[in-house]
Chains A and B, each alone.
Chain A
Amino acid sequence: MSDRKGLQMEFSYVRCRVAETLPLELAPGSPAKRLRAAGNSQSFGPIPGRTKFALQIQHPPFLHNGNQNNSIHHRTTPPTFPAHTFAKLAPPTYLTAHLTSKGVPIRPSGRSPTQFRTPTCHAGSLTHAHGSAVVRCGDTAGVCGVRGEILRVEDVADYRPKMAEEEERVDTEMHSFQNVRREKREDSEEMARLGLLVPNLELATGCSPTHLPGGPPSTLAQTLSQRILTLLHTSNLLSVHDLRIWFRPPASAPICRGQEHEVMREEEEEIVKAEVKAFWVLYIDILFISLDGNPFDAACFALLAALCNTRLPHAWYDADRELVLCSDDPAESKQLHLYDMPVPLSFGVFEGDEEAKGKKWILADMDGFEEGLCRENVTIVVGEEKRVVRIEKDGGGNVGGRDMRRLVELAVQRRREWVLMLRDGPP
C-alpha cells in the first residue's frame, strides 16, 4: 500500500503510458442496480476495488540509483490502480476502455450510451415564490423559483394597446394548425417585446470545482440563461393571455335591469371598454447547487416543474384607487396553464483516445466527467406530437443529418417519461 502511495506522489516525474487494460469486471445485476451501486459509492468506477487497470510505467533513471525501495519489483508485475486513479490519469483511455468493454458498451456511471438519468423532483418547497421546484438529476441538482411581479402598462415605454386588444376577437374561422401557430407566434412576440419572462440562471459557488467564488457570471451561466430564454419564447410554453391583468368595468348593473333601458344604454356608451391595465412578469430564477454535467436539461426540468407548480393570485385593476389589487384568497388563485411541454435531451460525441481513431460514441445526458471529454454537443428539444422545437449542435462534425432522426426518437422517448412525471408527480 505504501509503495503505491509513493508511486502516486512521484507521478509528476514518471512518464507513464497505458499499455494494456485488464478486462473490465463490472458489477453484476441489471443496469439499474449497477447505477445505484455507482451512485452510492461516489466514484467514477462501477465499483471501486473491483475494476483494476494495469499501467506499465517507465521508471525515470533516478529511481534506480537513489532510494529505490520496491519499485524494481514492479517491472515483472505492473502495479494496478483503483479505477478512480486511472480515470484521473488518463481520462480518454478510461472512458474508451469502458465503451469498448466486452459485450455491451457501458459508461463509467453504469449507464448504456443512450440511457439518461431519471430526475427526481420536489415541487412547491419555497414558500415565498409563486411556484418552485427542487430537482436532482444524478449529481446535478438545482432549485427553480418562479415569482410573478406586476408590470403596469403606464410603465411600458412604447406600449401599443392595439396589439393586445385585437387578439381579444373571437376567432371562429381560424382554427387550422397554421393559424393557431401564427397566433401563438404573435403572442410570444409580444411577450418578448414586453419582457414578461425573465429567466436567470446562476451557478452557485462550490457547485463544481471549476467554478471559483466571486467574479461575474461565467460564460456558461450566461449561455444557459440565454438558451432558456429563447426556449421559453420559441416553444410557446406560456401564453400572454394568462399574464394579462384586466380592467373590467362593473358588469351592466343587474339591479336596474328592465326599468331604465334608455339610461342604461347611454351609460354603457360612456363606460370604458375592458382593457389591459397590467401584466404579470414572471421572474424565473434557477440556482444550481451542484453541477455534474448537463445543466441545460436539469434546468429545463426544474423550469417545467416549477411552472407546473405556479399559482398566480387573482389580480384586477381597481379604477377608484388606480391600483392593481391581488386577492389573498388561495381559492381564487389560478394555476398557470402550460400549452406545451418542451423536453430537451443533450448528447455529447466522444471520439475515443488516440488508439480508437475513427470511432465515435454518442452519449446521452452526460455527467461531468464525460462532458470534459466531449467537444461536440447536440441538444434536441421536442414538443407535443413529435414536433421538434429546437436543434442545437456545435463543436464537431461527427453527427450528420442521418443520425438526427434517431436522436430525436430518443428525445421523444424521454419526453414521454418526463410528461408522466410532471403531470402525476414522482412514481
Chain B
Amino acid sequence: MVNVTLSPLYRADGSATFTSNGYSVIAAVNGPIEVQRRDELPEEAAIDVAIRPAAGVGGVRERHLESIIQNTLRHVILVSAHPRTLIQITLQIVASQDDSLYPGNLPQAASNVPVLPALLQASILALLSASIPLSMTLTATLISVKENGGVAPSPSAQDLEAATSIHVLAFSSHGDLLVVESEGYFTMDTWEKVYAKARLICHGEKEEDSESEDLSMDTEEVTKLEDILKDAVRQKVAAEYRWKQSPDSAAT
C-alpha cells in the first residue's frame, strides 16, 4: 500500500516519491547550495520548502503547509553543519483524495491536513537520497475518528468526510512526537487513543508506562512505517552497490 521510490529524478541532488492512501507526492532536494544574501543565516543552513498542488498554482493553503514542514525539517536536519547555505526542498503533489472529495475546484477552506503525512514522508526520503546530514528521521500518519469513536488509520475520502476529527501525527526515529495537526471535535481521551495508535503505526512500540490497555483490539500485525522506509533505503543501497559484490556471492 505504501510505495516508495528513491532518486527517480537524476538532475536533483536527491529525490523521492511517496505514495500512500491515495496521496502521492514527488520531492526534490537541492543542497547545500548558495543562498541569497537576504535569506542567509550566519550560523545555520536556511531551509526553503516549496509545495506545488496537484492542480493550479499554490496559494495560502500551501504557504501554511510549507511553514509546518519548514519548521519540522529545521529540527530534523543538522542545520548547523552547513552554515550560510540553502537547502531547497520542492514538493509536487501528484495525486490526492481531494479530487474525489471536492469535484470542481477545491475551496480554500478545505482541510489541508490529510496530505501532510505524504509531504513530510516524501521530503524526508528525498533528504536521505540527497545525503543531507540529519539528526533523526521521521514517520507520519493520518488517522480519522469515526462518529462512534472508533479510530480509523489510513482513512479513505469517504471516511474523511464522515469523520468527527482528523489527526496527523509524526514521530521521530527516537519516538518523540514531532508534529501534530488535529482538527475537528474530540476529547483528550480520544486524542490519547489516536496518539497511541499513531505511535504504534509509526514507531512500532508503545510508550513504556502507557496505561492504555485498549490497544489490544488491534491484534493484527502492523508493519511499522519506519521499517517500510528502512527497507526502501536498504534495497536502494543494495542495488547501487551491486557492482561491488563478487559474482559468486551475488549468486548465493
Contact = CB atoms under 8 A, between A and B. Distances in A.
Nearest to A377: B71
B49 to A, nearest CB: 10
Contacts of B158: none
A191 B111 CA distance: 13
A404 interface: yes
A226 B61 contact: yes
A398 B180 CA distance: 12
B186 A388 contact: yes
A74 interface: no
A181 B185 contact: yes
A383 B185 contact: yes
Interface in B56-104: 60-61, 63-64, 66-68, 71-72, 74-75, 102, 104
Interface string B93-124: 00000000010100111111000000000000
A234 B102 CA distance: 17
Contacts of A390: 182-183
Nearest to A395: B71
B192 A392 contact: no
A223 B180 contact: no
A404 B191 contact: yes
A227 B188 contact: no
Interface stretch (B17-25, B170-178, B224-232): B170-178
A321 interface: no
Contacts of B147: 178, 181-182
Contacts of A61: none
B111 A234 contact: yes
Given A181-B164, A182-B147, A226 B63 contact: yes
Nearest to A229: B109
Contact of A397 (B60, B74, B176, B192): B176
A389 interface: yes
A382 to B, nearest CB: 10
Contact of B72 (A229, A383, A394, A400): A394
Interface stretch (A77-85, A108-116, A192-200, A239-247): A192-200
B116 to A, nearest CB: 10
A223 B192 CA distance: 27
B183 A230 contact: yes
Contact of A222 (B60, B75, B182, B183): B60
A392 B181 contact: yes
Interface in A360-408: 375-378, 383, 386-402, 404-405, 408
A219 interface: yes
B207 A401 contact: yes
A158 interface: yes
A282 B147 CA distance: 30
Q: Size band of the A side of the interface?
A: 35 or more
A225 interface: yes
A31 to B, nearest CB: 28
Most buried by A among B104, B172, B191: B191
A390 B108 CA distance: 18
A226 B7 CA distance: 33
Interface string A188-209: 0001110101000000000000
A277 interface: no
B71 A375 contact: yes
Given A230-B111, A396-B75, A388 B177 contact: no
Contacts of A415: none
B176 A400 contact: yes
Given A178-B147, A400-B176, A389 B185 contact: yes
Contacts of A404: 188, 191-192, 195
Given A192-B107, A226-B63, A397-B75, A234 B188 contact: no
A233 interface: yes
B184 interface: yes
Contact of B64 (A182, A226, A398): A226
Contact of A387 (B60, B102, B187): B187
Interface in A162-220: 178, 181-182, 185, 191-193, 195, 197, 219
A127 B237 CA distance: 67
B179 interface: yes
A375 B68 CA distance: 12
A195 B60 CA distance: 14
Contacts of A222: 60, 63-64
The winner among B102, B107, B207 for most chain A CB atoms within 10 A is B107
Contact of A395 (B64, B75, B191): B75
B178 A396 contact: yes
Interface in B177-224: 177-188, 191-192, 195-196, 199, 207
Contact of B172 (A158, A185, A193, A397): A397
Contacts of A195: 107-109
Contact of A391 (B107, B112, B176, B182): B182
A400 to B, nearest CB: 5
A197 B109 contact: yes
Given A219-B63, A226-B64, A390-B183, A376 B75 contact: yes
A392 B184 CA distance: 12
B108 A229 contact: yes
**7 nearest A-B pairs in the assembled complex, by CB-CB distance:** A397-B176, A192-B109, A226-B64, A393-B180, A395-B71, A391-B182, A222-B63
6 contacts: A178-B147, A178-B164, A226-B60, A229-B60, A400-B177, A405-B188
Interface of B: 60-61, 63-64, 66-68, 71-72, 74-75, 102, 104, 107-112, 147, 164, 172, 174, 176-188, 191-192, 195-196, 199, 207
Given A395-B71, A404-B191, 14 more contacts: A193-B102, A219-B67, A222-B64, A389-B184, A391-B181, A392-B181, A393-B177, A395-B74, A396-B75, A397-B172, A401-B199, A401-B207, A404-B195, A405-B188
